[in-house]
A and B are shown apart, each in its own frame.
Chain A
Amino acid sequence: MQYFLSSIEGRAFRIAQIATGNRDDALDIVQDAMIKMVQNYSMHAKDEWKALFYSILQTRILDWHRRQKVRNRFRSWFNWNSAENEDDEEDFIAQQPANQAYAPDVKLQDAQFMDDLNTALSTLPLRQQQVFLMRVWEGLDIAETATVMQCSESSVKTHYARALEKLRGQLAQHHEVN
């Protein structure tokens, strides 16, 4: 289990960070997912761990968005001023990791692509974003993604196609270069 978690923690963190735009919240989500994974599913077969973990992670991300929605409603209820709300929202771009692994001569365009990709992913609707990351990054097939996302396979196909179309549109400049 330790090896599994260490192999997956970086990607899980980035997925949560893209979904929340907040480093600390992303760490909290990864922590919750890991604890639940270890406590409830460590006895399951190892080949089930990946899908189980991502299913937990996606649920935690959905919970986070739901809590944010309710909290925002209560903020307005208590008339907390909007200026403070704006201060709380962290700059998404500033939250993204820098491309420190890249040598200066290794394509400025890749760094720019990374920035634009982060922005484009963060603007996708949550379900599209999650399906896209599960399919492209984690390499889950349609059936596995449907299981993780707890939706139908046709929904996965629809979300994926729409996400891909939007990303192609937003990253068209980079796409045409290559």
Chain B
Amino acid sequence: MQTDFENRIKANLDASVNSIDADTRKQLADIRRQSLQANTSSLAPARWLTLSFLHQHWLAVTAMMVVFSLVAFMLLSPSASPTNHQDLALLEALNNAEDLEVMSDPDFYLWADEVLMEETHAL
């Protein structure tokens, strides 16, 4: 059984849903429709495997390949030893399962691509 305090919180949270703006409501409805439609097209190839995706995001794909090449180089180099901050950070990432998982996600490179673009425009 909930106290008055908890009931008041629940009532306020309910009210916050009722006051979601029209644009967000529309987006939520679109998301719902797309989710229901996605069920019928679940056999489609992964988004990042399509040629059009590679064409549109060649910079992100290239960045991903460069990072993997760098990691492979560091791992295979017989004299590999951390010499600076970036090497240490990379080694830290290699030793962290969460970091590696995020780095193996194509979305990470899209994000990095976006941030790099923002950086470039800011300069």
Inter-chain contacts of B4 with A (CB < 8 A): 178
Inter-chain contacts of B8 with A (CB < 8 A): 113, 174, 178
| B15 pairs with A114, CB closer than 8 A | yes
| B28 pairs with A136, CB closer than 8 A | no
B57 lies within 8 A of chain A by Cβ? no
Inter-chain contacts of B15 with A (CB < 8 A): 99, 101-102, 110, 114
B31 lies within 8 A of chain A by Cβ? yes
A37 lies within 8 A of chain B by Cβ? yes
| A14 pairs with B35, CB closer than 8 A | no
Q: Count A-side interface residues using an 8 Å CB cutoff.
A: 52
The answer for the CA separation of A2 and B28 in the assembled complex, in Å, is 12
- What is the size category of the interface that chain B forms with chain A? 35 or more
Q: A84-B118, A168-B5 are in contact. Are A137 and B13 (CB under 8 A)?
A: yes
Selected from B9, B29, B35, B42, the residue in CB contact (under 8 A) with A117 is: B9
| B12 pairs with A113, CB closer than 8 A | yes
Inter-chain contacts of A71 with B (CB < 8 A): 102, 108, 111
The answer for the CA separation of A5 and B31 in the assembled complex, in Å, is 10
A-B contact pairs, 27 of them (CB 8 A): A5-B35, A9-B29, A10-B18, A11-B13, A14-B20, A23-B24, A30-B28, A31-B31, A34-B31, A38-B39, A39-B42, A67-B108, A70-B98, A73-B99, A84-B118, A84-B119, A97-B21, A100-B21, A110-B12, A113-B8, A114-B12, A114-B16, A117-B12, A136-B10, A137-B9, A137-B13, A137-B14
